[in-house]
Structure 1
Amino acid sequence: MSYVLGLDLGTSSLKGLLVDKSGKVILSKSADYPLESIKAGYSEQDPQHWVEAAWKVLKAMIQELPEMKEKLEGISFSGQMHSLVLVDEHQKVLRNAILWNDVRTSKQCEEITQKCGEVLLKSTKNIALEGFTLPKILWVQEQEPEIWAKAEKFMLPKDYLAFYLTGNIQMDYSDAAGTLLLDVENRVWSTEIMETFGISESFMPELVESAGFRGNLLPELKETLGFTRDVKIFGGGADNACAALGVGIVSEGIGLCSIGTSGVFLSVEETAEKDYQGKLHLFNHVLANTYYSMGVTLAAGNSLSWFKNTFAKDLTFEAMLKDVATVNVGSDGLIFTPYIVGERTPHVDSQIRGSFIGIDTHHELKHFARSVLEGITFSLKDSQNLMENVANKQFSKIVSVGGGAKNKEWLQMQADIFNAKITTLTAEQGPGLGACMLAALGCGWFENVEECVTTFVAYSEEIHPIPENVVKYQQVYELYKKAYPATKELTHQLQENL
């Protein structure tokens, strides 16, 4: 039986997932690499560390499963979005990659908005934020002109790894959509934006489909690793898009609620015509001619971790949350806003800060713990609300993954707050499974993506909304929405006085 390999290039580690034609995970390996921060707000990595991590994963897999040398058919990728890799005319890396979570580019974002804000929103469907790639390019232009003068091409992290494996410089549409340089609807690099900022067409990578063929594994690498057949390399995709594919989000009407350090609420869009005015991200999906909208809560699981470490340090998460089911919907009049590091959707406000509102003498740890869970979910509902109001979406099902899928009371809160059936997975594999699915599609294992999803994705329990809780939460959510405008000016002034 043949195998495909998905390489998930994250911020702190590279994870490899080997899967067979039945969708069974055969092997999983990972390798860590460091993050460099030379000053506050800076976040960088040496691309060579990604290559070394890939070698460690491949060698460890081959050592454990030698038959992989005969049976590996294809490789694809998922990767951290936005991070900038620059190479010279000899394809040598010119500097460390500037990562997605680097925030040095506020000045460049203001410049982009001033020079082409309307064009940017119309063409890329997004507004200028520090995380995107274009502001990083402008920063290098302005601050490191000697580097910029040598820069011949740019890549994103997974694309640099694919270049190392194939010798070809390419980028898939889902990752290109996060650069602020792609005309999302027409699926071409935006000449107007490039010309505005002095970026030449030769600087841009060739665009490929996520399940498209990049090239075969280079002969010298094939020989060194001992592969006996040509190994095909496929386009890959942005981490959130691959995560969506990996849980079966391939058509409208199904949502993804992903709660990690940050939180994501994501939905497929059949066209790029929805006008979210930059309040939601709109990107190309890993499926050809398909898109997805996505809202982000900056401190989702991070809010719960902060609360535990601050107020319940000696308890496990399970012990801290064991009594939340005994607390009434709405935490008996207590609301938490999870803005502890600012907020992205729908407010795009780096200065807003979190609040507990309605504290009463009868409130105990269990009330505060439940209000944190509710507040995180309300913040994600803001994204669902935008999708429903702007795009007239109706969600028949929402797949919950991450920390929010590990607590049954929290799953019930999600069903009640989102007013939708919540589904979990039998086993979470993250974006790496989506990368495997792209390789499987590229290899021609399936006639269509639906057949691939049926084979690779297995769902577990379903949680249905409780009607009386839905009504109560609708009332509490209306109060929650008033918290941002009520606290904005005050928290901004507090931040200014720090």
Structure 2
Amino acid sequence: MLLLGIDVGTSSIKVSVVDSETQSALVSAQYPETETEIKSLKTGWAEQSPEMWWDHVQNAILKANASGMYNPKDIGAIGIAYQMHGLVIVDKEQRVLRDSIIWCDSRAVEIGNSAFQKIGEQRSLSRLLNSPGNFTASKLAWVKENEPEVYAQIDKVMLPGDFIAMKLTGDITISASALSEGILWDFQDDAISQDVLECYGFSSSIFPPVKPVFSEHGYITSGVAEHLSLTPGIPVAYKSGDQPNNALSLNVLQPGEVAATAGTSGVIYGVSDQLTYDPESRVNTFAHVNYAADSKRLGVLLCINGTGILNRWVRDNFAAGTSYAQINTKGQEIPVGSAGLRVLPFGNGAERMLNNKMVGAHFHNIDFNLHTQAHIFRAVQEGIAFAFRYGLDIMRGNGMNPSVIRVGKANLFLSSLFTEAFVNATNVPVEFYDNDGSVGAAIGSGIGVKVFASEREAFTNNKAFQLIEPTSADLYEPVYQDWKKLLLKQLDLNNAN
């Protein structure tokens, strides 16, 4: 059986068609070729059009079909991965009521902080495993408070992947994993949180039926099937947020296993079997893809908003026409520490690991007679790696101590400069796997329709092809400590203001 995986990213849509027998991709396609813009109508806001995602999904599938590498009629199941925490709302005719308020939007921080106090800090942490913070539930509360005429028309609330599944099938479902990433799931009751519903004044009727991640969430309609040359009635059999899905694609399913990504944002994601939480909600705990009431599997997630987006910003504004590969090569010409140049990479909204502070990005110690373009390139990637180290230390304080981190060869991990900085700053080896989000989503759909006898069987051919170990952690440690002092000083300034 062939499996179709769809990855709804912030920058673009990627799809892969995977042969279930070999667990390898026959073809992958991306649409659009250029990075999709984020609408920012006000400082700290970030929105995208769900209908634009759907248009891009269709174009990506048609592009993959055009390769001629497979017969689309042989596809037997579809899986969807998606950018986490986005809010999508539709009316009774399944019409989108407003653009999605996406993951890096910061407008609901104070609403979430207020709910944390109203529900009670200890009750929130023990039941939700998080503060309501700036997550999906708080974004919905913002709509209720600021756009009441829009809120009054809501029939269903969903996450981005639920929306794409709705467009494919006409059905709307959600999972405990999705609800938990929106801070809408009570882990004590294993149900939608009554505390959150009562605090924000939401009716439970606006949330779709809850189904397991690995299950049939609807069947492709004849109209969609005809347009995309698919077989009518095949199921959408898997839906997951991008970070749990990335962990799945790297076979990170059991307690103690850890994955990382460094795309537009950066994430370290580890699996636990304990209902643990960070008292300050700097890292967050969600239901993993294989979470069940009788087999707790939790994903502990560190998110850094400003990673690849900073690297892109530097390329666009300091090196127009230069490829990422050229940036990496130039940066490698500079010794560790970038001759004192330090970069704080926090310019993409409120950072959870910094207590939801809007810190901004900062370049420190620029010397006009010393620093060159190459120094900037290196300092940026070092600064991103140091942000990962800072967050990993928070995770370590909460009991997550990885002996190895699994990653895909993609985004910033394509850069040997960044990989070296990441491995040595964290002092943790990195294993590379030849998988990505769209392949993981495809394999997830195979698990959902039981093509594989078990989750483990789905990854029998997924082996690490490279191991990078720390070789100069002693060189990076003093540079990191200097970087950390600058960050703490900046946080003090923010708190004073």
Distance 1:187 1:360, change over 3 A: farther
Matches within 5 A, 1:436-455: 436-455=442-461
Pairing 1:464–2:469 present: yes
Distance 1:51 1:283, change over 3 A: same
Identical counterparts, % of pairs: 25
Match of 1:272 in 2: 275
Q: Normalised by the size of structure 1, how large is the TM-score?
A: 0.86
**Most deviating of 59-68 and 159-168:** 59-68
- Cα deviation, residue 279, structure 1: 0.9
Pairing 1:322–2:326 present: no
- Cα deviation, residue 464, structure 1: 1.6
Q: Deviations over 1:285-304 (max 9, x none)?
A: 11233221122222223333
Of 376, 391, 412, 1:383 maps to 391
Of 335, 339, 351, 2:346 maps to 339
Contact map agreement 1:83 1:157 (CA 8 A) in 2: yes
User: Residues of 2 paired with 1:77 and 1:367: CA distance?
Assistant: 39
- Cα deviation, residue 30, structure 1: 4.0
RMSD of the alignment, in Å?
A: 3.2
User: Residues of 1 paired with 2:173 and 2:116: CA distance?
Assistant: 27
Pairing 1:484–2:492 present: no
Distance 1:359 1:389, change over 3 A: farther
Amino acid at match of 1:449: E
Pairing 1:302–2:301 present: no
User: Residues of 2 paired with 1:332 and 1:224: CA distance?
Assistant: 56
Pairing 1:122–2:121 present: no
User: Residues of 2 paired with 1:97 and 1:164: CA distance?
Assistant: 15
Structure 1 unmatched ranges of 5 or more = none
Match of 2:24 in 1: 24
User: Residues of 2 paired with 1:71 and 1:393: CA distance?
Assistant: 43
Distance 1:138 1:314, change over 3 A: closer
Amino acid at match of 2:212: E
User: Residues of 2 paired with 1:324 and 1:62: CA distance?
Assistant: 39
How many residues are aligned here? 487
Q: Deviations over 1:257-279 (max 9, x none)?
A: 32223222222222222435301
> Any idea what SS the aligned residue of 2:353 has?
coil
Q: Normalised by the size of structure 2, how large is the TM-score?
A: 0.86
Pairing 1:202–2:209 present: no
Of 119, 132, 137, 1:134 maps to 137
User: Residues of 2 paired with 1:409 and 1:96: CA distance?
Assistant: 37
- Cα deviation, residue 162, structure 1: 1.5
**Most deviating of 110-119 and 26-35:** 26-35
**Most deviating of 291-300 and 479-488:** 479-488
- Cα deviation, residue 3, structure 1: 0.5
Amino acid at match of 1:294: L
Distance 1:136 1:74, change over 3 A: same
Q: Deviations over 1:154-207 (max 9, x none)?
A: 112211222233333211232222212112465321012101221122222211
User: Residues of 2 paired with 1:392 and 1:91: CA distance?
Assistant: 41
**Most deviating of 417-426 and 197-206:** 417-426
> Any idea what SS the aligned residue of 1:5 has?
strand
Match of 1:153 in 2: 156
- Cα deviation, residue 356, structure 1: 2.0
- Cα deviation, residue 317, structure 1: 4.3
- Cα deviation, residue 380, structure 1: 0.2
> Any idea what SS the aligned residue of 1:216 has?
coil
User: Residues of 1 paired with 2:62 and 2:419: CA distance?
Assistant: 39
- Cα deviation, residue 344, structure 1: 1.7
User: Residues of 2 paired with 1:313 and 1:59: CA distance?
Assistant: 31
Contact map agreement 2:18 2:25 (CA 8 A) in 1: yes
Contact map agreement 2:262 2:307 (CA 8 A) in 1: yes
Contact map agreement 1:6 1:432 (CA 8 A) in 2: yes
User: Residues of 2 paired with 1:283 and 1:66: CA distance?
Assistant: 37
Q: Deviations over 1:197-218 (max 9, x none)?
A: 2112222221122111223323
